[in-house]
């Protein structure tokens, strides 16, 4: 055995220091009458030796606690399940209620509000409006990006679209009514009968005028019953203006386009009718009225054959043939506008 000369405790031979005060041990010899040494004074060695002694005592206490807990677990595991104490129900909910009572709130998932539709489509940008428009309606136009205008009556706002249809050689018009964040098709209600389906003739052009909401339609009017034309030939056109009035579009005017072939065709149409109508008056000189009133004979049910003879920058001659005779129609540019000025031949 070994002896602590300070606290007079015995220890096993394999220990060198006292487990309680850290003093170096010596061989146990109680017969020598050795008395324990007094504890060091507060000023001399208290801070150098006392912490070490305290640490030793804590170590022994910790070892004892581990042994006690291990023994308790061994006894509990050896008991039968029915002998074990039942778990306290609602223990966790009670803890949760305690946390809530203390004012600690669980994090809430932020709600995402859907954007409200605009009260007026006139207050948003064009790009925002394009995002709101139905995709199936935009798909009616080439590239899905028509030109558009916003019009309104006393009750509703409308989006009117004009441009090239899905077929490159045909124009297209569509109109939608805006109501409570939704777009409803209003094409038939807003457009005149000739355009109520939204489809415009092949080889027609549709656009808005530059400064207003009026729709300009340049549509072909050639008929093979009058002039036998090929598909690749020139064609005659009329300019139709649709104006917004009293909550809908109406045809305001229909005039012959001012290009040289259209002016020639207006003369051929007048020869067929034997009359110059009001729409063609601006492109046919009044001196031709008497010749037009005589008309031009037909030898069959086919249209007349047309050939052009002489051409200059500001004058061209068209030869109109019926199989047995011909007429030469002269079209000239006067003050930047084309006009029929002469008819010669049979």
Span 248-293, pLDDT tens digits: 999 999 999 999 999 999 999 999 999 999 999 999 999 999 999 9
Span 184-233, pLDDT tens digits: 999 999 999 999 999 898 888 999 998 889 999 999 998 888 999 887 78
Instruction: Kindly list the distances between the CA atom of residue 338 and the CA atoms of 34, 89, 223, 229, 343, in Å, as whole numbers in the listed order.
Output: 144, 101, 21, 21, 15
- Of 69, 84, 102, the one marking the end of a domain is 69
Same domain? 16 vs 129: no
- How far is Cα 134 from Cα 176, in angstroms, rounded to an integer? 10
- Of 257, 277, 299, the one marking the end of a domain is 257
Residue 82: pLDDT band with limits 50, 70, 90: low
Same domain? 222 vs 277: no
Same domain? 247 vs 322: no
As a whole number, the mean pLDDT across the chain is 81
77 inside domain = no
Same domain? 252 vs 262: no
pLDDT at 166: 82
Same domain? 323 vs 293: yes
Same domain? 126 vs 247: yes
Q: For residue 262, what are the domain limits?
A: 258-346
80 inside domain = no
- Of 217, 242, 257, the one marking the end of a domain is 257
Q: How many domains does the chain have?
A: 3
339 inside domain = yes
Nearest to 238 by CA among 187, 282, 271: 282
Same domain? 11 vs 50: yes
**Which residue, chain included where needed, has tokens 């709101």?**
132
317 inside domain = yes
pLDDT at 99: 47
83 inside domain = no
Same domain? 53 vs 15: yes
Sign of the dihedral through C-alpha 275, 279, 280, 281: positive
Span 31-79, pLDDT tens digits: 554 454 444 433 333 333 444 444 555 555 566 665 666 665 655 555 5
Same domain? 205 vs 298: no
154 inside domain = yes
Residue 247: pLDDT band with limits 50, 70, 90: very high
Span 296-320, pLDDT tens digits: 998 777 899 999 888 888 999 999 9
Same domain? 253 vs 264: no
pLDDT at 161: 96
Q: Are 325 and 319 in contact (CB under 8 A)?
A: no
Span 135-166, pLDDT tens digits: 999 999 988 889 999 999 999 999 999 999 88
Q: Taking the complete model, does pTM exceed 0.85, yes or no?
A: no
pLDDT at 226: 92
47 inside domain = yes
Same domain? 263 vs 325: yes
Same domain? 41 vs 146: no
74 inside domain = no
CATH of the domain at 330: 3.10.450
């Amino acid at each position: 055995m070994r002896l602590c000369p300070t606290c007079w405790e015995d220890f096993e031979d394999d220990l060198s220091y006292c487990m309680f005060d850290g003093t170096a041990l010596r061989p146990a010899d109680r017969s020598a009458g050795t008395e324990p040494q007094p504890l060091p004074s507060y000023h001399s060695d208290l801070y150098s030796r006392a912490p070490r002694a305290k640490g030793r005592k804590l170590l022994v206490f910790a070892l004892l606690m581990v042994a006690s807990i291990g023994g308790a677990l061994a006894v509990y595991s050896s008991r039968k399940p029915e002998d074990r104490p039942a778990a306290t129900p609602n223990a966790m909910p009670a803890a949760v209620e305690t946390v809530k009572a203390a004012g600690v709130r669980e994090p809430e998932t932020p709600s995402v509000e859907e954007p409200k539709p605009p009260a007026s489509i006139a207050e948003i940008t064009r790009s925002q409006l394009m995002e709101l428009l139905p995709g199936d309606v935009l798909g009616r136009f080439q590239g899905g990006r028509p030109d558009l205008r916003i019009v309104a009556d006393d009750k509703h706002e409308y989006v009117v679209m004009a441009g090239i249809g899905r077929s490159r050689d045909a124009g297209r018009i569509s109109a939608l009514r805006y109501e409570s964040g939704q777009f409803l098709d209003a094409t038939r209600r807003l457009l005149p009968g000739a355009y109520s389906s939204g489809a415009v003739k092949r080889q027609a052009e549709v656009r808005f005028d530059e400064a207003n909401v009026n729709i300009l339609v340049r549509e072909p009017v050639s008929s093979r019953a009058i002039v036998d034309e090929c598909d690749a030939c020139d064609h005659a056109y009329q300019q139709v203006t649709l104006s917004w009035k009293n909550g809908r579009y109406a045809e305001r005017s229909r005039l012959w386009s001012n290009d040289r072939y259209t002016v020639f065709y207006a003369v051929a149409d007048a020869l067929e009718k034997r009359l110059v109508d009001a729409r063609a008056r601006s492109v046919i000189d009044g001196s031709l009225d008497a010749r037009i009133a005589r008309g031009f004979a037909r030898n069959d049910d086919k249209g007349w054959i047309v050939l052009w003879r002489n051409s200059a920058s500001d004058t061209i001659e068209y030869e109109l043939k019926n199989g047995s005779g011909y007429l030469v129609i002269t079209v000239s540019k006067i003050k930047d506008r084309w006009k029929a000025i002469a008819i010669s031949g049979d």
